[in-house]
Amino acid sequence: MNDPRSEPWLERSRALLDESLHEIDAATLSRLNRARQAALGKAHAQRPLWLGLSVLGATAVLVLAFGLSRQTPVPATAPTPVVAPSTQADVDADLAVADPDSDELYENLDFYAWLAASGGPGQG
């Protein structure tokens, strides 16, 4: 089958469509330019996934450790808690299950890094 693009009327159609690109107004071209730069800028602002996951993992471990250390002694007569992991961790469960693709995670990355460096809440 012949290439449909080679038909004369289609070549003319392509030429007309190409010409129409030169008629796009300056305001639209400016907006397209800004859109492109914004898309590229956002891509550069994204940090590597492994960095986000590492910080998130370290934070989760610290929060869990903090929760365990803050467990109040249970009276001897009281039943032994069934749930060994901290209930404090539940508070921050959203951190542990945060979507690594989430923009929010990346936006708060500095905070998580600081939290990890300071040894968790109450220790820094």
Provide the minimum distance between the beta carbon of 113 and another protein in the complex, in angstroms, as a whole number.
23
Which residues lie closer than 8 Å to 52 by C-beta, 6 or more apart? 100, 105, 106, 109
From 22-30, 67-75, 85-93, 109-117, span contacting another protein (CB under 8 A): 22-30
3-state secondary structure of 99: coil
Rounded Cα–Cα distance for residues 88 and 96 (Å): 12
Q: Does 26 bind another protein (CB under 8 A)?
A: no
User: Any contact of residue 47 with another protein (CB under 8 A)?
Assistant: no
Question: Which of 35, 53, 61, 74 contacts another protein by CB under 8 A?
Answer: 35
Q: What angle do CA 81, 83, 89 make, to 5 degrees?
A: 125
Contact call for residue 14 and another protein (CB under 8 A): yes
The dihedral of CA 116, 117, 119, 122: what is its sign?
negative
Does 5 bind another protein (CB under 8 A)? Our answer is: yes
Q: Is 42 in the site for another protein (CB under 8 A)?
A: yes
Q: What residues contact residue 99 under an 8 Å CB cut-off, 6+ apart? A: 105
Q: Determine if 31 is a binding residue for another protein (CB under 8 A).
A: yes
Q: Which residues bind another protein (CB under 8 A)?
A: 4-5, 8-10, 12-14, 16-21, 23-24, 28-29, 31-33, 35-36, 38-40, 42-44, 46
